[in-house]
């Protein structure tokens, strides 16, 4: 898949419905601004256990979830997803399931990538630059892995769009209840 990061590729799978991404988190959304939180089976990101090479990844955000952006995309060889019966092994943290990011521990050499894009209106610019390196040392008894990347995604200006300039808005009717028959909007 031509996705900018692993989390965006995973969120294409139906089992990751309602996951929080930088474009859906907004500002001040429970301490998740700019983060990628995986949400297996729509049971909540805090019920999805994230592992890195089989070890638990500690929460990195205010709502006790793991930001997938912190994992080294360029050095992940595969992602294993378990949705059934994981809580029996890992406890209530894995109620929705487990996502295990497996590191490419045998990577040798240097690899890099550059990706970018912009909307047809010239806003919403995004780019990612990534560089990874790996080498053996001490006659093969040790292995060094390094990875660095930078991701940037600018906002899309909704006020410059025709669909946003029509002046129509839905406003919730505060007097409506389930039994009084008043319209919802």
Question: Reduced to 3 states, what is the DSSP secondary structure of residue 132?
Answer: strand
Handedness of CA 112, 118, 122, 125 (dihedral sign): negative
Write the CB contacts of 178 (distance below 8 Å, at least 6 apart in sequence). none
How many angstroms separate the CA atoms of 7 and 34, rounded? 12
Task: Kindly provide the residue ranges of all beta strands, DSSP E only, lying in the chain, ordered along the sequence.
Answer: 48-52, 55-56, 76-82, 97-103, 109-117, 126-137, 142-153
In tens, the pLDDT along 143-180 reads 999 999 998 888 877 777 777 777 666 677 888 887 88
Dump pLDDT digits (tens) for 13-26: 888 876 777 666 55
pLDDT of 178 reads 75
Rounded (5°) CA angle 124-39-83: 140
Tokens of 54: 């089989």
């Amino acid at each position: 898949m031509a996705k900018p990061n692993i989390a965006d590729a995973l969120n294409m799978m139906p089992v990751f419905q309602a996951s929080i991404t930088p474009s859906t988190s907004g500002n001040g959304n429970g301490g998740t601004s700019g983060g990628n939180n995986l949400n297996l089976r729509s049971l909540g990101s805090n019920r999805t256990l994230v592992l890195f090479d089989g070890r638990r990844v500690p929460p990195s955000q205010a709502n006790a979830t793991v930001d997938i952006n912190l994992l080294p995309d360029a050095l992940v060889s595969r992602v294993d997803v378990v949705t059934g019966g994981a809580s029996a092994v890992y406890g209530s943290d894995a109620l929705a399931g487990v996502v295990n990011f497996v590191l490419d521990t045998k990577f040798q050499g240097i690899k890099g990538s550059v990706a970018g894009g912009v909307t047809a209106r010239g806003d919403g610019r995004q780019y990612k630059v990534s560089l990874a390196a790996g080498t053996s040392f001490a006659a093969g008894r040790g292995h060094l892995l390094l990875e660095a990347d930078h991701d940037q995604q600018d906002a899309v200006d909704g006020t410059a769009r025709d669909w946003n300039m029509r002046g129509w808005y839905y406003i919730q009717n505060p007097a409506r209840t389930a039994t009084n028959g008043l319209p919802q909007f």
